[in-house]
Amino acid sequence: MAQVHPINAFNDNYIWAICEPKNHATWVVDPGQSQPVLQFLTEQKRQLTGILVTHHHWDHTDGIAELLLNFPDIPVYGPKDSPFKGITHTLSQGDSVTIAGEQYTIIQTPGHTLDHICYVNDIRAFTGDTLFSGGCGRLFEGTAEQMWSSLSALSELPDACEVYCTHEYTLANLEFAHAVEPDNSELRTYTTWAKQRREQELPTLPSTIGNERAINPFLRTNSRNILRRLPESLIAPTETQWQVFAKLRLWKDKF
């Protein structure tokens, strides 16, 4: 089974290194910086085999050009029709790709950006800036309905499926989650654990799909408790879960 390691980048990014245990082959997800990746490869005596891109934003792609100078023949997988032009192998909904000996399926997850994709199987999900622990990405290009649909697709993965997003936003997300659902006992327990992790300068990731369904307000749009906590300015007749999501996202943007 492949091993996944976090590589710190910028202030709060994680570049995930997917390593084959029986050889030196390594894939990286969303390398916004090259130097941390090159340092990891040198220290761990590993060989870069390929690159996975979830979407075109610079903090997920700016390190790719220099990595290719050092490893010129490796594939760069990423979304079809992406504004980022460095992708050599394009992927769409339902496509499959083998990474470090394991098969992943592509889920198109527009919302944060229109080109966003996630790499998923029953064991792991590399969710980029779509699903965070306790939160979700801002809507820079897509609609609230698109993002809710994307999150709903991810929430159907098995409870034990590990969630590898690309930012350490957990504590800030949990602060909002407590405002939305202050009586959630699982949220309180998880927050205590997350604070202890950050006090030790350890990642709060990966989370799991089961945990996110229990504590993440953006996956809990059918909760009556959440509906009761919406600010007065957002209270209005609501018919669909995506409309509840839209109100939560608007609240979070101003939180």
How do beta strands 207-208 and 131-132 pair? Answer: unpaired
Given a cut of 80, whether residue 111 has pLDDT beyond it is: yes
Q: Please indicate if the annotation marks 167 as binding a ligand.
A: yes
CATH number of 3-253: 3.60.15.10
> Does 129 carry a binding-site annotation?
yes
pLDDT classification of 137: cutoffs 50, 70, 90: very high
Domain ranges of the chain: 3-253
Give the model's confidence band at 105: pLDDT under 50 very low, under 70 low, under 90 confident, else very high: very high
Please name the residue that has the structure tokens 């969303």.
30
User: Could you give the percent of the chain with pLDDT greater than 70?
Assistant: 97
Known catalytic residues? 55, 57, 59-60, 112, 129, 167
Of 138, 124, 195, 147, residue with least CA distance to 167:
138
pLDDT given at position 239? 65
56 is in an annotated binding site: no
Quick check: 122 and 102 in contact, CB under 8 A?
A: no
Q: What is the DSSP string of 182-207?
A: TT-HHHHHHHHHHHHHHHTT-----E
pLDDT tens for residues 211-231? 999 999 999 988 878 877 777
pLDDT beyond 90 at 185: yes
Whether the upstream peptide bond of residue 206 has omega within 30° of 0, thus cis, is yes
- What are the Cα distances from residue 126, in Å, to 16, 64, 66, 96, 208? 9, 18, 23, 14, 11
pLDDT at 70 over 80: yes
Whether the predicted pLDDT of 238 surpasses 80: no
Instruction: For residue 154, give the nearest of 141, 137, 140, 138 by alpha carbon.
Output: 137
5 is in an annotated binding site: no
Per-residue exposure over 189-219, b if at least 16 CB sit within 10 Å of its own CB, e if not: ebbeebeebeeeeeebbbbbbebbebbbbbb
Q: Which of 53, 56, 26, 66 is nearest to 42 (CA)?
A: 26
Indicate the pTM of the whole model. 0.95
81 annotated as a binding-site residue: no
Q: Which amino acid is present at 238?
A: T
Question: Is 24 known as a binding-site position?
Answer: no
